[in-house]
Amino acid sequence: MAFCSNCGSEIKEGEKFCTNCGKAVATEERAQNTVNYAEDNTVKKPKKKIKIWKIILGIILVMIIGAVAFVYHELNEDFPKDIGKEKTTDIEIGGIVFPMSEAYEFAGSNASGGQSYKTKGSRSYMLFENTDLDVPEGFDIKDKYLEAKIYEAIKSNADAILTTPKEVNTDNMNIDGLPCWSKAYEGKYEGIDAYLKCVATYNSYSKKFVAVTIVASSNYADKAMTRFDRMLSTAKVNKSLSSSIEGVSVDLKELLDVL
């Protein structure tokens, strides 16, 4: 919009003289008028539309990220943390204190005092069992006959849990200096490839025979066994227990008969 510099009247576009006073329109006024006109009549460029392929690509990326997150969650549901960062809770079975990984939660107990634990994804189980065992003075707990009977009991346990168990090599365990017997097997557990390991020991302080069994899906066996072996190797015997613990005592002959 331009105005006459003499009388202030409005000057319409293209006029060279003021229609009110007749004064010639100055060059700068015509230039201003031209600028104003140009500004008012600027052609607005239409907004760019987002191409459909970009939308599709975005959806695909979101789906991929979601799938990766789901797979990661599934693979780590049983063992969400690195073993070095996990917390442990002490549980005492048969006078032995086991540092249980937080990856396992209590699943139940049986009439004989055994306790079971499982991971949140239920791909690994641990079973703790114990019984009183009064070993006669001077008897060698490493007696070959006793050892054979213990291994026979472990094999029967594997047969009861796994379908067509096959014995595999395993390292000898040690629980705070106590004598131990261990066996490992591979087979099917409820139709899934699984790994089983049982470690038995005799706690001379509490006069308890203790057996710890782990069953894990083959896909999780490495992680499960890392925690299992670490738990046993760092377990501690409660040496303050006396041999007069309450309970029904089973002498060695009776145990061998049972085994």
pLDDT at 71: 55
Give the torsion sign (CA, 243, 240, 179, 217): positive
Say if CB 214 and CB 196 are below 8 A apart.
Answer: yes
43: region left, alpha or beta (phi > 0 left; psi from -120 to 50 alpha): beta
Summarised one tens digit per residue, pLDDT across range 84-131 is 888 999 999 999 999 999 999 999 988 777 899 999 888 999 999 988
Q: Give dist(CA 251, CA 256) in Å, integer.
A: 9
Least confident of 67-81, 173-187, 189-203: 67-81
Relative to beta strand 104-109, strand 96-101 is unpaired
What's the pLDDT band for 135 if we cut at 50, 70, 90?
confident
Tell me the average pLDDT of the chain.
78
Q: Give the residue carrying structure tokens 């040690």.
A: 174
- In order of their start, the domains of the chain are 2-40 (no CATH), 85-258 (3.40.1000.10)
Flag whether the pTM goes above 0.85: no
pLDDT at 35: 44
pLDDT at 28: 47
Radius of gyration of the chain (CA): 41
SS3 content of the chain, % helix, strand, coil (to 5): 30, 30, 35
Q: Give dist(CA 65, CA 245) in Å, integer.
A: 57
What's the pLDDT band for 155 if we cut at 50, 70, 90?
very high
pLDDT at 26: 61
